[in-house]
Copies of this chain bind each other. A is one copy, B any other.
Amino acid sequence: MLVVQKYGGSSVAGPERMRAVAQRIAQVHDQGHSIVVAVSAMGDTTDDLIKLVTAINDKPDEREMDVLLSTGEQISISLLALTLKGAAKPVISLTGAQAGILTDSTHTKAKILEINTRRLEQELQLGKIVIVAGFQGIDRLNDITTLGRGGSDTTAVALAAALKADMCEIYTDVDGIYTTDPRLVPDARKLKEISYEEMLELASLGAAVLHPRSVELAMRYKIPLVVRSSFNQNPGTTVKEVDQVERSQAVTGVAYDLNVAKIGIFNVWDKPGIAYKLFKTLSDQNVNVDMIIQSSMHNEVNDISFTCAQADLKKALNIIETLLPELGADGFTSDADVAKVSIVGAGMLSNPGVAALMFEALCEAGVNLEMISTSEIKISCIIRAEKVQQAVAALHKKFNLSSED
């Protein structure tokens, strides 16, 4: 069997954790399996490197940032390899470049183009444990690149896909994917299985254990991912194809997001190109718009509401102010004191009453709905920020998520 494992920064922070990880890796190897391991930078290494830069350049060049930041993973792989060598295991570390991870040239957020597996396969054939630097690659100019947020997860999934691995385990500091945030709802339950699509909806909604990019990649290549903790032996959550997930319930999890602001524009002209004009301008200025609702109130005019991240609110309002004449709008309003709660579940597709159940739960909990948006496997509502805990708890209870599915 060929196993790919990924260990996050907290899993390798310090010699003791490094040894625990090495033991886990050695076990797989001792059982006769081939194993490739992607590793992140240790603990705060990346932050420490960024701190070095702030003293010398406040708008650092991205190519040079990649040269700098990639040293974090290079340190981890050598130390992890030395730990395994110390336990007399055959092992070799490879930087992204040495592992053949070819990316485009978008420094600090490069995309993997392909993996030349020659060296990897050669070392595996020699029976070696192969430790690969996560988060990094090399472009066609032979320049070092980094993959941006969630980069090491992406490295692991890409390696698993390129090597046609039998299993891809993502080790992190949580036990797996939960039905909702256990800090909010103490009886939140760890899921045994979840589909890629549900995971994507949950991840982008704040339950950010796996970066969406790595989930998308796993989905494209049908690589089952196991998300589990490196601090215990608990089994974790498997992320896999939707038709292979056993399910008895319509809803899989409840997510929430406090980093939301709501904007409303009144009496926009009801003519073609108006929405395009508005959202194209916002997108050109890098304002990420999430929920969009347009409702026809009277003839010939509309109200348009949408949400964005709180950090983008000011920028969005400036843009709207400039655009008002073109939109023919009367005015606009905004509110940053809101939150989004969502229920996610592939089972919704065949359960038409789910939305009604959601609204019932929120109503019973005294939570007012300010915006509603639905997709095939998700229903989201904008509510007052201070009602988040009540809302999430009520939804978790209504959909019976604390009992085994």
Contact B86 A77 (CB under 8 A): no
Write the A77-120 contact mask toward B (1 if CB under 8 angstroms, else 0).
Answer: 11101110110000011010110000000000000000000010
CA distance A92 to B64 in the complex (A): 8
Q: Is A32 an interface residue (CB 8 A)?
A: no
Instruction: Give chain B residues whose Cβ lies under 8 Å from the Cβ of A85.
Output: 57, 60-61, 64
CA distance A55 to B67 in the complex (A): 27
A30-64 residues with Cβ-Cβ distance < 8 A to B are 49, 52-53, 55-61, 63-64
Q: Is A19 an interface residue (CB 8 A)?
A: yes
A79 and B98 in contact, given A64-B93, A67-B74, A85-B61 (Cβ under 8 angstroms): no
Q: Which residue of B lies closest to A86 (CB)?
A: B57
Contact A119 B98 (CB under 8 A): no
Q: What are 26 inter-chain pairs, A to B, with CB distance below 8 A?
A: A15-B52, A15-B55, A19-B56, A49-B75, A53-B82, A56-B83, A57-B82, A57-B83, A58-B86, A59-B86, A60-B85, A60-B86, A61-B81, A61-B82, A64-B78, A64-B81, A65-B82, A67-B74, A67-B78, A67-B95, A68-B74, A68-B82, A74-B74, A95-B144, A97-B97, A98-B142
Q: Is A18 an interface residue (CB 8 A)?
A: yes
Q: Can you tell how many copies of this chain the complex includes?
A: 2
Contact A18 B67 (CB under 8 A): no
CA distance A67 to B53 in the complex (A): 23
A10–chain B nearest beta-carbon distance, Å? 17
CA distance A82 to B62 in the complex (A): 9
A15–chain B nearest beta-carbon distance, Å? 4
Contact A143 B98 (CB under 8 A): yes
